[in-house]
Amino acid sequence: MTDDDRIARLEAILAEQERTIEELSGQLAEQWTVVDRLRRKLDVLTERFLAVEEQSGADVPVTKPPHW
């Protein structure tokens, strides 16, 4: 294997690695967008749940049924 062959092979490997890195970077950016959107939805739902919980009446005391 000549030096030119080795260099060409290394360049081909490098090009493939660069393409893979760019593809993974794009997928990672897309996943972060999804995570951020889900986090915002979770925050909204948490706030709604807490508001509903606050509006509900006082806790019902736990008592034994009359047949006990």
pLDDT digits (tens, 9 = 90+) for 14-34: 999 999 999 999 999 999 999
What Cα–Cα distance (Å) separates residue 53 from each residue in 23, 45, 61, 65? 45, 12, 16, 26
State yes or no: pLDDT of 65 exceeds 80: no
Domain extents in the chain:
23-51
Handedness of CA 45, 50, 52, 53 (dihedral sign): positive
What is the arithmetic mean of pLDDT over 3-12? 96
Measured CA to CA, the distance from residue 66 to residue 61 in angstroms comes to 14
Type of residue at 11:
E
* Degrees, nearest 5: CA angle 49-51-56: 95
pLDDT at 68 over 80: no
Better-predicted residue by pLDDT, 65 or 41: 41
